[in-house]
Every structure is written in C-alpha cells, then in structure tokens.
Amino acid sequence: MTALLSVRDLRTWFHTDQGVVRAVDGVSFDVRPGEMLGIVGESGCGKTVTSLSVLGLLPQPPAKIEDGSSIRFGDEELVGAGDRRLRALRGNDIAMIFQEPMSSLNPVYSVGNQIAEALRLHRRMDRKAARAESIRLLAEVGIPEPERRVDEYPHQLSGGMRQRVMIAMALSCEPKLLIADEPTTALDVTIQAQILELLASLRERHEMAVLLITHDLGVVAEVCDRVLVMYAGQVVESGSVHEIFADPQHPYTRGLLDSLPSVDDPGQRLNSIPGTVPNPLHWPAGCRFRARCPEAGGRCDDAQALVELGQDRASRCWRSGP
C-alpha cells in the first residue's frame, strides 16, 4: 500500500551556543492511509521533535532539518516547502492534537469561536454555518449539551472536555492524517480510556490515519496497528503491535515492557531501566543504549544499523534475529 506519509533519514538538529543537539538523527518510517502508528519512547528520545518536523512547526533558529532528510506527504516533498504551503496543509490535510489542551486553547475566546475560526479559514464557511458545524463537531466528540458548551470558555471545561474540544478542532477540516502528541498524559485513567476509544472510533469513521506519540506502551497496545520504538534520537525497533509485544528484539524494548505493571500480580515490584538517556549534545559512539543495556558486549562499541527482520520488522541490535 502506498504511504500517506513517508519520512526518510530525518535529521532535525538544534544549533545552539553549546553545540549541535542531534534531537532526531536519521529516523525513517511510513504511515499508511487509515492506519494508526504509535511512536513510543522515554522523554527526550525525539518523538515530539519528529512530529513537529512533519508539521513544519520547529523553532527556526535554532532548529534545522538537515540536508538529505525527506518528508513526503502523498507525492509532495515538505522539507523545504514554504511557510504558506505548510500553513495550507496544516488543518486541511494534517492536523495535530497537543498534550496539554489548556495551553493550546485561547483562554479569552469561547471554544465554539475557536472551532469556527478554523472552519471559516479553511472551509470558507459563513458565521452561521461555522457555528452549526462547531456544535455538530462537539456532539461528535461526545461533549454533552453541545448547544450550551459551544459558548463556554476553556476554563469552564474539565481536562477531558478540553481534550475533546482539541479533537473537534483537529477534525474540523477532515484531515487525512491526525498527529496526536501524548493526548492522554494529563488525564485520569478513566478519561484516558474514553479519549483513546474516541480516537479509535473517529479514525474508523473518517478513514483517517493517526500518528500517536506516547511514552505509554499500554496505550500503544490498545489502539495502534504498528509501533516505532525510539531511543536517543533513533528508531531502535519497529513492527506490528503483536510482534513487538510477543517477541521484542531490542533490549530497550524488552526493558520498557518489563517495566509495565502486571494485572495478574498487582503487588509485583516494578522493574526499571537503570541510568538515563545520554546527552544529545554528545551521543555516545557505538550503540547509544550500550551503557544501560544488560546484554552489552564488545560488538556494541560499533554503531549498529537497523537489522531488517521481515516486512515492517526491524531492530537496531546485532543480537536481533531468529
């Protein structure tokens, strides 16, 4: 199947006074029409910078997508595209949900006005039609009494409702790709489950691809088709949800899975991965996970490319394989 989004050798570096921060350092992946791809990893691994690179929302300077990187949406190359073209794509064809809706919504405008603004800008609706569509979208994302809520302000809504408003705004122009950056981080467990269920149902209803950024493998297991595991600016493993959970090939992926609490043994002591992610100003030579890896050996001193293990299956470890 032809990819909707195709990222190849993406290198997004931050040129600072202290040196070059190689936040994303050679990442490649595809998102196919209608699928949900999860990108998972610890804070600082490059997940969010990857999504901002796709959208053209990087702070410039100091961020720069380096020469040789490619981000193709359909048949169009986005690296090097002008601001005007990227603004046209954002909202129309690609939309994003950020992890903290209170900082993304404008506190001085009603939620209805904020949804309507996108509708009037991108879909050329008049004021009356935009208001009616805003109410319909609020109802679609499960907000009760949308005719009343449309005139309320962000501070009058709960965290879960604010996140639903952000989803309604993202859906307003019927995008082909939705990027969701930690959409359940600030929510309690019950609301998290509701938001995930909503995203899954909207994806099917609108036949929309979703790129889900998260640090939570439990979230990935629940809603994603395929998984990309990132560590220290690189992809260290990729595969289907079933393959990753049934037979993880990279020691980092196994460490993440071992740190998940067990439903069968709630009193079990949680495991952790020792150490911390290395400094992106000075990525270590060789395998970047080597200092934290319980399986590290002599060959880990050499940089390891992704080992192809089959269709859509790869691992950045020389021990990988049957």
DSSP states along 186-226: TS-HHHHHHHHHHHHHHHHHHT-EEEEEES-HHHHHHH-SE
Is residue 228 helix, strand or coil?
A: strand
Q: How confident is the model at residue 257 (pLDDT cuts 50, 70, 90)?
A: very high
Q: What does the pLDDT read at residue 185?
A: 77
* Contact status, residue 315 vs residue 295, Cβ threshold 8 Å: no
Percent of the chain topping pLDDT 70: 97
Whole-number average pLDDT of the chain: 91
Each residue of 185-228: pLDDT tens digit? 777 888 888 988 999 999 999 999 999 999 888 889 989 999 99
Q: Which two tokens stand for residue 55?
A: 């959208």
* Contact status, residue 278 vs residue 284, Cβ threshold 8 Å: yes
Compute the distance between CA of residue 46 and CA of residue 215 in angstroms, rounded to an integer: 11
User: Would you call 26 exposed, middle or buried from its count of C-beta atoms within 10 A (0-12, 13-18, 19+)?
Assistant: middle
C-alpha 216, offset from chain centre: 11
- pTM, two decimals, is 0.92
- Residues in CB range of 240: below 8 A, 6 or more apart: 225, 226, 227, 312, 313
Q: What is the mean pLDDT of residues 86-110?
A: 86
Q: Is the pLDDT of residue 163 over 70?
A: yes
Compute the distance between CA of residue 216 and CA of residue 257 in angstroms, rounded to an integer: 10
Q: Phi/psi of residue 142, each to 5°?
A: 85, 20
The answer to whether the Cα torsion of 56, 175, 195, 34 is positive or negative is negative
Each residue of 14-67: pLDDT tens digit? 999 999 999 999 999 999 999 999 999 998 899 999 999 999 999 888 999 999
Compute the distance between CA of residue 284 and CA of residue 232 in angstroms, rounded to an integer: 10
Each residue of 164-190: pLDDT tens digit? 999 999 999 889 999 999 888 777 888
Q: Is the pLDDT of residue 138 over 90?
A: yes
